[in-house]
Structure 1
Amino acid sequence: MPLNNLAPQLVRCVPGLALSAVAMGLAFSLHAVLPAIPAMTLAVALGLLSANIPGTAAWTAGRARPGLDFAGKHLMRAGIVFLGLKVSIADVLGLGWLALVLITLIVMASFAGTYALARLLRLPAETSLLIATGFSICGASAIGAMAAVRRVRHQDTVLPVALVTLCGTLAIGVLPLLMHPLSLSPERFGAWTGASVHDVGQVVATAQTAGAAALAIAVVVKLTRVVLLAPVVAVAGLHQRMMHTRSRAAGSAQRDSDDDGKFPPVVPLFVVGFILLVVVRSLGWAPQPVLDAVASLQDILLAMALFGLGSAVRVRMLIRTGGRAVVVALGSWLLIAGLGLAAAWIMIR
């Protein structure tokens, strides 16, 4: 983009970014009052409200839209990069080979099962892919990464993000109620939560109801799933490149605003940044104050991004077009919960 066009573009983003920042602050304030509800869930909820209340709907659809779209796309990618500093390979390997195999199988089975169900119910292929990625790996962050490598339009990520947030919030309320009926120890409950709940914040909110022991193992199991984001995205990127090559060879490449005729990346640059920060964390190069500061920054970026995505969801549109997607989401949620429970019984003796 020429420099003389950059300034007007940035100015257009200011109202939406300011609104996202205010909403982010409100989400964290509400979380402080209601700790059981993650700030990220509140950010999406505030976005949904802003898009559907008459007093704010016109603002979010009009003057604030460029900045809200910028937040939903670019701040999400920055948040994914910083997520890498939460992952330590030593912690992941500390689970043992059996747990690593089980977690990998859960991700693969839930991904394949969700994608198959979505296609069976005739959802578009890219929507099916985004829902499968978000539910099997790490929620909205995974959806953002997959959308980038597959060059999915930003507006097409809105419904998958809304669904994964809805089901993750549902898990916060439902899973703790099942702990005692299923005779789960705190450690086994933590393993179940980490293996089956989508977003890291939702995992923390769910597992902490069973105490520190449950929370400790839940976070490690969850971050092990996060590590799988890179190889899954790489495989999707390689497949996209192969399709692009065949399309160009046949002389039928379809170009859109995001397609400049170049090969799509196998792994987007921000996912490379995520991997590099995983290495930094694993080698112990980042002191604890830096880790704490970056964790706070990542939460801020993701909250602003999720508000931006939520503000694009119109309830009437969701009701009209999202019925089958809701069935897929609930089916995926039940699938990964069942797989995670079985794995937890095997992992924790």
Structure 2
Amino acid sequence: MSVFSHIKNDKLSSLSLFAIGLVCIFLSYIFLNFNIFISPLIVAILFGILLTNLFSNRVKFLKSSTVLLVATKQILRLGIIFYGFRISFADAKYVGIHGIGLAIFIVVLVFLLGLIMARILKIDFITSALISAGAAVCGAAAIMASATTLKADEKQIAIAVASVVIFGTVGMFIYSVGLNFLNFTQTQIGFFIGSSLHEVAHVVGASARYGDEVMKNAVIIKMLRVVMLVPLLLFLAFISASKTSKIKEFLPYFAFYFLGAILLNSLINIPIEILNIINFIADMCLCVAMFCLGLNINKSVVKNFGFKPLLLAIFLFFILMIFAYFYIKILI
């Protein structure tokens, strides 16, 4: 293929990915009108999986372009940085010290227990770290961010994302049925939902039926877990660096920009119109990255999911609920 053919293919791929990102966001809004909360990220992943398995010949031009590599690295990181504008220090103040403590407790405990269980099950470190990060922090976005630090391959990423999609969605529907049997206050219900579900969209979907106060608490707790992505990535960079490698080769510099976005949003009163634009850009970037990930998940990857990663995902699913319950019951 000539240089000009490559350029033409890349332009066509870029336009196609932009259009697909818009479609995924649009579809999530359509679902929202029916009180179905599905993250555009999840829509994008599923869309990518569907296309690559049903119309593999039609998406070959996307896979052969250099755009996919850019989408799963630079565009993904840009989306995560802009995601930081959804969080502020005022959120932490609203839920108080117990809310902050709950978010830190859940992320640290779930991630470490995930690694310990993975050693018992003899699962490779990268796969176990991705599954644990997805459960502990913020689902698919945490997995993709961690994958760039750990140099994970498509199969490892696909397995981790599948665990988030399956068990986060199951948890969302279980919580939506009712949590009255827990004998929690409205505040405690919000804290429980925000601390024990995988994706932000799962949290929104599960808390919507309980009212605005519950949803607000739930989303804030979840976003505090998202903030923990920064120390998690630094930790992964530290343990990934060998004696012959320098830690700066693994250091996720975009995590500092993510933190800077949070700081800027906390110190400056950014107009809501600008924030809406930033949030849209973040969703677009993340949708494009997730769609490209979905293109790499074919039938063979699904078949090779494996029983042990499934056990780890189930273990973390229950650990999230159990430890969130006892923390809230004892301390809040």
Same fold (TM over 0.5): yes
Query: Per the alignment, do residues 12 and 177 of structure 1 end up closer, same or farther by CA in structure 2, a change over 3 Å counting?
Result: same
Checking the alignment, whether the CA contact within 8 Å between 2:110 and 2:320 is kept in structure 1 is yes
Question: How much has 1:136 moved relative to structure 2?
Answer: 0.4
CA offsets, 1:89-119, max 9 Å, x none? 2321332223322321111111011122223
Question: How much has 1:88 moved relative to structure 2?
Answer: 0.6
Choose which of 19, 25, 32 in structure 1 pairs with 2:22: 25
1:129-208 pair list within 5 angstroms: 129-153=129-153, 156-208=156-208
Query: Per the alignment, do residues 127 and 8 of structure 1 end up closer, same or farther by CA in structure 2, a change over 3 Å counting?
Result: farther
- Please tell me the residue identity of whatever aligns with 1:42: V
Give identity over the alignment, percent.
24
Structure 2 partner of 1:300 = 284
Aligned-partner Cα distance in 2 for 1:344–1:161: 28
- Please tell me the residue identity of whatever aligns with 2:48: G
Instruction: Tell me the secondary structure at the aligned position of residue 233 of structure 1.
Output: helix
**Gaps spanning 5+ residues in structure 2: where?**
none
Structure 1 partner of 2:61 = 63
Query: Per the alignment, do residues 82 and 327 of structure 1 end up closer, same or farther by CA in structure 2, a change over 3 Å counting?
Result: same
Instruction: Tell me the secondary structure at the aligned position of residue 201 of structure 2.
Output: helix
Aligned-partner Cα distance in 2 for 1:6–1:232: 41
Question: How much has 1:15 moved relative to structure 2?
Answer: 4.1
Decide which moves more: 215-224 or 170-179: 170-179
Query: Per the alignment, do residues 320 and 143 of structure 1 end up closer, same or farther by CA in structure 2, a change over 3 Å counting?
Result: closer
Structure 2 partner of 1:278 = 262
Aligned-partner Cα distance in 1 for 2:159–2:12: 24
Structure 2 partner of 1:258 = none
- Please tell me the residue identity of whatever aligns with 2:77: R
1:41-56 pair list within 5 angstroms: 41-53=42-54, 56=55
Checking the alignment, whether the CA contact within 8 Å between 2:25 and 2:283 is kept in structure 1 is no
- Please tell me the residue identity of whatever aligns with 2:163: L
Question: How much has 1:154 moved relative to structure 2?
Answer: 5.3
Question: How much has 1:52 moved relative to structure 2?
Answer: 1.6
Matched, 1:95 2:71: no
Instruction: Tell me the secondary structure at the aligned position of residue 218 of structure 1.
Output: helix
Checking the alignment, whether the CA contact within 8 Å between 1:17 and 1:71 is kept in structure 2 is no
Instruction: Tell me the secondary structure at the aligned position of residue 260 of structure 2.
Output: helix
Aligned-partner Cα distance in 2 for 1:170–1:114: 19
Aligned-partner Cα distance in 2 for 1:34–1:73: 29
Checking the alignment, whether the CA contact within 8 Å between 2:155 and 2:301 is kept in structure 1 is no
Aligned-partner Cα distance in 2 for 1:173–1:274: 31
Question: How much has 1:336 moved relative to structure 2?
Answer: 0.9
Instruction: Tell me the secondary structure at the aligned position of residue 180 of structure 2.
Output: coil
- Please tell me the residue identity of whatever aligns with 2:41: M
Aligned-partner Cα distance in 2 for 1:196–1:7: 50
Aligned-partner Cα distance in 1 for 2:210–2:164: 23
Structure 2 partner of 1:331 = 315
Checking the alignment, whether the CA contact within 8 Å between 1:140 and 1:164 is kept in structure 2 is yes
Please give the root-mean-square deviation of Cα atoms over the aligned residues, in Å. 2.5
Aligned-partner Cα distance in 2 for 1:51–1:143: 21
Instruction: Tell me the secondary structure at the aligned position of residue 286 of structure 1.
Output: coil
Structure 2 partner of 1:112 = 112
Checking the alignment, whether the CA contact within 8 Å between 1:168 and 1:199 is kept in structure 2 is yes
TM-score (norm 2): 0.88
Choose which of 268, 277, 298 in structure 2 pairs with 1:314: 298
Decide which moves more: 177-186 or 308-317: 177-186
Decide which moves more: 292-301 or 231-240: 231-240
Question: How much has 1:73 moved relative to structure 2?
Answer: 3.0
Question: How much has 1:10 moved relative to structure 2?
Answer: 5.6
CA offsets, 1:148-181, max 9 Å, x none? 2233345532321222122222222111224123
Question: How much has 1:340 moved relative to structure 2?
Answer: 1.9
Structure 2 partner of 1:290 = 274
Question: How much has 1:183 moved relative to structure 2?
Answer: 3.3
Checking the alignment, whether the CA contact within 8 Å between 2:176 and 2:205 is kept in structure 1 is no
- Please tell me the residue identity of whatever aligns with 1:198: H
CA offsets, 1:275-331, max 9 Å, x none? 111110111253322211101111122122211112211133322343322221122
Query: Per the alignment, do residues 120 and 265 of structure 1 end up closer, same or farther by CA in structure 2, a change over 3 Å counting?
Result: same
Aligned-partner Cα distance in 1 for 2:121–2:261: 38
Choose which of 318, 325, 331 in structure 2 pairs with 1:341: 325
